Amino acid sequence: MKGYRWMAWGVVLVLGMMILGHAALAGDAKLEVTPAKAVLSPALIAKQPFQFKGSGFAPKEMIIVEMIVPEGVTVKTVPKGEKVGLAVGSTDEKGNFAIKMHPLSTLNWIFQVAWTPNMKPDLKKMSPLPPGKYRIEATGMQSGNVAKADFELLKPHPKRRNRPNVK
Amino acid sequence: MKSQWFRFMVMVLGVAVFALAFSAGDARAAAKEVAFLDLSDFTGPVAGLALPNSLGIEDYFKYINSKGGVDGVKIKYIGVDTRYDVARALSAYKRYSRDPKVVAIEIVSTPVGKMLKALTRKKKMVITVPGDGEFQAHPGNFFPWGPTYQDAFAATIDWILKDWKKKGKKGKPSIAVLSWDNAYGREMLRGGKEYAEKKGVKVLPSELFPPGTLKTDVYLTRLAKSGANYVYVGGVDPTQTNVMRDATRLGLTKDIQFISDYWGPSSLGISVHPKALEGMVIVSFFLRGPEFQNQPLVQRLWKTYQKKPIKDMNEGYGMGVSQGITFVNALKDAIKRVGVDKLNREELYKSFQNMTGLSRDGIVGPCAYSPTSRRGSEVVKFYKVTNGKIVPITGWVKTPDAVALHKW
C-alpha cells in the first residue's frame, strides 16, 4: 500500500505542476492597447488606429485579437456571446507582436458601417459602439496563451462631427 | 489509512474514466449531425457575390435534410457573416473549429485562405476556397471550387489567340491584367503569365487598384497607351461594371476586348447596367445567364426556399448549390466507407478526394478532386454580354494546367 501512496502523491504533483505551469505561461502574456482611451473619431480609421502590443507568446505564432462584447452592447451581425475579431498578426522570434487595426475592421466593428453595392462604407447607416470600457483579448493560435487589456471609447465632443471621412 | 489512499486512487481513476466516457459520448452524438461552417460575407463589401453562393449551399442542405439527411445524418449549416474581414474570419474559425461536428469549412476570401493555410497545414480537414492555385501546387486540405485562377487565365489566352485569328489580325496580341491590389488580384498571373509567354502572348504590366475604387480612368488610360489588345479584369462586380462604364466613356471598347474573370457581372448586374457591359466577355466555371436561370435543380431550390422570382436569382446561387452537391456526395462516400459512428473530418477529407468525375447537374463541370488534384473542375465556358444578356460563345472548354508552370 506504500506504493499506492507514492503513486497518489505523484499524480497530485504532476497535475499541480501542469496547472501551475499553464497558469504561469498564461500569466506571462501581456497586452497593451494604444490609445487606451479614444474618442470615437475618423482618426481611428487610418491616422491613429488602435494598436495592440503584446509579449509572452510563442515565437512566430499567429495572434488573434478579439473584443469581448459587454452585456447590453450589440455588434452588427455578431451573435450574442461571440467575441469579435479585431486584428490578426504574428509574433517575432521573441514572442512579441505589434498589430494595428485594419481600416476595414475599424469600419466594420467600431463604426459598424453598412456597405453599398459599390463596396463603399455607407455612413448613413452606421451604428458605432457606444462609449464605455471594452475588454480585449489576444490569443496565440499555437500556444493558446491569452493576454487581456481594456480600452475605453469616450463620448465624442458634442460640437464635432465624428463621421469618418471615407472617400 | 491504507483504505483512504485506495479510495483516493479509485476516485482519481473514476474521474478519468468519466471524462473519457463523456468525450466518447460527445463524438457519438456528433455523428448524427454534421456541420458545415461557412465563413462568408452577408453584409460586407463582397456580399453581392458571397451571399447568393451561401444561400445556394444552405438551401441544398435544407433540401437534403428534408429528405432525411444523408443516411440519417443531418447537415447543420453555420453561416458566419465575416464582412470580408480577416480578423472576424479567424475569430470565428477559432470558435467553431473546436466543435467536432464541424467537418468542413468554406471561405470566400483568398487572404483568409492564405492565413488558415498556415494554421491548418497538418490538419486533415476540408476547407473549400475560391480559386487559389497555391492549393493545387501543394495539395493539402484546401479545395478550390473550380479550376484555379491561373488555369482560367490560361484558357482565356487560348480563347484570345483564336479570337485574334478570327478577326484576321497578324502577329500576336498583348494582354494586361486590371484587378484588385491584393493576393487574389495577382494570383492569376502565378502560372498564367508563364502560360501566356509560352504561347507568344505579351503580358503587359498589370494595373492594380484597391477594392472599392470607383473611377478607373487613370489605369485604363495607361493600359491603352501601353498597347493592350485584351484586358483581363479581376475583382468582384461591380468592379467590372465600373471598369466597362469608364472604358466605354473613354472610347476604349472599340479597340480593346475586355474579359472578366469568374466574379464579373451576373444577370442581375447586367440587367441594371446593360449598356455599360455590352460586349464584355466572361470566363466562368459555372453556368451563367439564361442557361443558369433555366437549370431545373436551381430553379426548384430557389422557388422552394427563397420564394422569389427567377429573375432575382444571382449565378452565385448555382455555384453554392454545386458545392452543396459535392459535400453531400463526399459525406455519402465517407458513411459508406466507415459508417456513421466513425465519421469524422479526416474521413470526409479522404472522401473529397474520391469525388473525381462527380456530376453537379451540369451547373459546373465534372468534379476533378482526387488524391493529386484539388481542382473543383477542369472546364470553363466563355460568355459574352450581347443585347443585355449573357450569351454562351463556347461550350465547356478544358483548362490548361498553368499551375505547373509556376515556380512555387
pLDDT at B20 over 50: no
- Report which secondary-structure segment, H or E, holds A65: strand A62-68
Q: What whole-number percentage of chain B has pLDDT above 90?
A: 82
What is the structure's pLDDT at A154?
A: 94
pLDDT exceeds cutoff 60 at B21 = no
Average pLDDT over residues B44-64: 94
Condensed to tens digits (0 to 9), the pLDDT of residues A130-166 reads: 999 999 999 999 999 999 999 999 988 776 555 665 5
Nearest to A119 among B43, B90, B211 (CB): B211
Residues in chain A closer than 8 A to B2 (CB atoms): 1, 4
Say what the pLDDT of residue B268 is.
77
Cell of B390: 449573357
Q: Considering CB atoms only, which of A8, A85, A119 is closest to B88?
A: A85
Distance CA B161, CA B157 (A): 6
Q: Is B79 on the interface with A (CB under 8 A)?
A: no
Q: What is the C-alpha R_g of chain A?
A: 21
pLDDT of residue B44: 87
Grid cell 478607373 — which residue?
B216
Shortest Cα distance, chain A CAs vs residue B358, angstroms = 35
> Residue type at B387?
N
Determine the 3-state secondary structure of B352 from DSSP: helix
In whole angstroms, what is the distance from residue B112 CA to residue A70 CA? 27
Are A131 and A162 in contact by the 8 Å Cβ rule? The answer is no
The predicted model gives B152-173 an average pLDDT of 97
> A45-78, pLDDT tens digit by residue?
988 999 999 999 999 999 999 999 999 999 999 9
- Which of the residue ranges A23-32, A113-122, B291-300, B381-390 would you say has the lowest mean pLDDT? A23-32
Number of Cβ within 10 Å of residue B364's Cβ equals 28
Q: Is the pLDDT of residue B30 over 50?
A: no
Question: Is A74's Cβ below 8 Å from some Cβ in B?
Answer: no
* Per-residue pLDDT reduced to its tens digit, B329-340: 999 999 999 999
- Least confident span in B43-52, B63-72, B224-233: B43-52
A117 interfacial to chain B (CB closer than 8 Å): yes
Q: Which pLDDT band holds residue B114 (cuts at 50, 70, 90)?
A: confident
Pairing of β A62-68 and β A132-140? antiparallel
Within 8 A by CB and 6+ apart from B158, the residues are B199, B397, B400
CA B220 from centre of chain: 28
Restricting to B residues 6-25, those with a Cβ less than 8 Å away from any Cβ of A are 6, 8-9, 12
> Chain A closest CA to B165's CA: distance in Å?
37
Nearest CB neighbour to B5, from listed A8, A64, A117 = A8
Q: Which of A102, A65, A69 is nearest to A85 (CA)?
A: A65
Whether residue A35 is preceded by a cis peptide bond, meaning omega within 30 degrees of 0, is yes
H-helix segments, chain A:
2-28, 103-105
Peptide bond into B52 cis (omega under 30): no
If you average pLDDT over residues B310-318, what whole number do you get?
Answer: 93
The percent of residues above 70 in pLDDT, for chain B, comes to 92
Cα–Cα distance measured from residue B159 to residue B20, given in angstroms and rounded to the nearest whole number = 60
Q: Which of B80, B88, B120 to mutate to test the interface with A (most CBs of A within 10 A)?
A: B88
Within B31-173, strands assigned E span 33-40, 74-81, 102-107, 126-129, 142-144
The answer to whether B113 and B127 have CB atoms below 8 angstroms apart is yes
Alpha-helical runs (H) found in A29-160: 103-105
Average pLDDT of the residues in B197-221: 94
End-to-end CA distance of chain B: 67
pLDDT at B228 over 70: yes
Element (H, E) at B382: strand B379-386
From chain A, the residues in CB contact with B235 under 8 A are none
Q: Per-residue pLDDT averaged across A20-30, rounded?
A: 63
pLDDT tens profile A68-124: 999 999 999 999 999 999 999 999 999 999 999 999 999 999 999 999 887 889 888
Is A104 in CB contact (< 8 Å) with chain B? yes
Which of A119, A126, A145, A166 is the best mutation test for B, with the most CBs of B within 10 A? A119
Question: Would the pLDDT of B400 be above 80?
Answer: yes
Q: How much is the pLDDT for B27?
A: 43
DSSP H or E segment with residue B398: strand B397-398
State the pTM of this model. 0.87
CB-CB under 8 Å, B90 with A85 = yes
Instruction: Give the confidence band of B91 by pLDDT, cuts at 50, 70, 90.
Output: very high
Q: Which residues of A touch B81 (CB under 8 A)?
A: 77
Q: Can you read off the three cell numbers belonging to residue B150?
A: 491561373
Q: How far is B195 from chain A (nearest CA, A)?
A: 32
Q: Which residues of B touch A62 (CB under 8 A)?
A: 90, 115, 118-119
CA distance B19 to B25: 10
Q: Is A60 on the interface with B (CB under 8 A)?
A: no
Answer whether B381's CB lies under 8 Å from B284's CB. yes
Q: Letter for the amino acid at B283? A: V
Lowest-confidence region among B76-80, B104-108, B292-296, B310-314 = B310-314
Beta bridge partners of residue B379, listed in sequence order = B398
Q: Give the model's pLDDT for residue A127.
A: 92
The per-residue pLDDT for B118 is 86
Contacts of B39 (CB under 8 A, 6+ apart): B80, B82, B89, B92, B93, B105, B106, B107, B108, B109, B112
Average pLDDT on B340-364 reads: 97
CA distance B2 to chain A (A): 6
The mean pLDDT of B365-373, rounded to a whole number, is: 98
All cell numbers assigned to B256: 480593346
CA distance A104 to chain B (A): 7
CA dihedral A56, A58, A61, A64 (to 10 degrees): -40
What is the predicted pLDDT for the residue at B111?
A: 83
pLDDT for residue B24 is more than 90: no
